[in-house]
Structure 1
């Protein structure tokens, strides 16, 4: 076999490996988007059922701490005073690394990835053109 023939034979496995890595990365994004959507849906389900413990468990640690500090009560006692809107179904998800945004019919949630899953960093968020979102629940 000529030198060029050997190079082509070696190049194919490398090209195949590169393609597989790209495909695996795409699957990872879809998988993360699905997990973000599931976390947002679980939060909305807990909100609709009035499940205060589940709402608090869905919050990121700093967000839960901010809810407790601002109300000077335990999260389960303070979360209902936050006047969170019923967001409805998830319409879209944007994932950027370990941060995500879930756009619902009537709300926008911001999430971060933690070792135990995606947690709500901010909720009750309304867009304001040219300005940051205004959120009724957020971490410090």
Structure 2
């Protein structure tokens, strides 16, 4: 009995390159890898706040966000970050990634992040949904 390919099936020589392309698109650089990176950066930021590690917390802020915070207070970030009224956050509920932008929703807080050459940085923190506007944030860049 001869093997007959069912109509619409991919020929075997085309299947291997197609699978390889799918693996490249969904591998470490894919959404799953970025989702973990966004979550890790957001959790590290929240942990820096919790442990009062101002240097780590400030290092995880996006440059424009850090500059806005410092210029509004007239002091270095490490001096003022603990005084910001950022909510206490519970566990991560959701992480969304769209290209170079990410959002991490915790119980009690939402962080927005952007991808920079040295990793994901927080562009806005202490964000809560606001009727009539997308979010109101305690800390955000200009």
TM-score (norm 1): 0.86
Unaligned runs of 5+ residues in structure 1 are 1-10
Superposed displacement of residue 73, structure 1: 0.4
Map of 1:14-53 to 2, 5 A cutoff?
Answer: 14-27=14-27, 28-53=30-55
SS of 2:67 mapped into structure 1: helix
Aligned partners of 2:94 and 2:86: how far apart in 1?
Answer: 19
Structure 1 counterpart of 2:90: 88
Q: Determine the structure 1 residue equivalent to 2:8.
A: none
Aligned length: 132
Is it true that 1:108 corresponds to 2:110 in the alignment?
Answer: yes
1:66 aligns with 2:43: no
Structure 2: segments with no counterpart, 5+ residues: 1-10
Measured in 2, the distance between the counterparts of 1:102 and 1:57 equals 18
Shift of 1:23: 3.1
Q: CA RMSD of the aligned region, Å?
A: 1.9
Deviates more, 1:95-104 or 1:77-86: 77-86
Distance 1:47 1:88 in 2: 13
Aligned to 1:75: 77
Residue 91 (structure 1) shift: 1.2
4+ residue runs over 3 A deviation = 11-15
> Following the alignment from structure 1 to structure 2, what is the Cα–Cα distance between the partners of residues 131 and 35?
27
